[in-house]
Chain A
């Protein structure tokens, strides 16, 4: 089976930086995705990593280490609108996504 772990909750202050870690053990690997999901809404795509290293997209960056089965999502210059759940998902050998339970980030003023 697939095992994807991420912290349940994180709290940070507006303007700060938060790092959300994700570790995975899956049957094969064909890429790792991060999604953002605001309460009561659909998940929306944030980032994709398939090679080791850092991918930067504005205030959000995502890192991958395939040998360690590890990724993180870095949110910089936090804004109140960043309060949401962040979902780590791994695409396996069958090209299906397996999701972690999600990390709820609360941004405080």
Chain B
């Protein structure tokens, strides 16, 4: 079934540890995104990629890095996790970076707890 997968589903992490959240899509979408969702704040864009080989910063990029080596994969790395990075992380993709009714499709999310 076509779609977006994320791994892990959930993770408890000690502060200071490095962590990579994985995201893979099989829809051949050009654009991919990482959001975090916190209670009362809604979804906030962390990083995005309009096409393979390019990335950009969103609203809350500090403490996170991404890479886009190919069309399908868009991993998000926390170099040294802090408790404020406790959140639910959603990966999304869209056909392009935004035109007409181009819709973002979301993965199932990763629930991350940093202690």
Contacts and interface: CB of A to CB of B under 8 A. Distances in A.
8 contacts: A30-B98, A42-B107, A43-B90, A45-B105, A87-B42, A95-B97, A98-B59, A101-B42
Contact of A42 (B40, B48, B99, B109): B109
A4 B41 CA distance: 11
Interface in B48-68: 48, 58-59
B7 interface: no
Given A42-B108, A96-B58, A87 B43 contact: yes
B101 interface: yes
A45 B102 CA distance: 11
A80 B81 CA distance: 39
Nearest to A92: B98
Contacts, number: 47
Categorize the interface residue count of chain A. Answer: 20 to 34
A98 to B, nearest CB: 8
Contact of B44 (A43, A45, A99): A99
Nearest to A101: B42
B74 interface: no
B42 A42 contact: no
B78 to A, nearest CB: 21
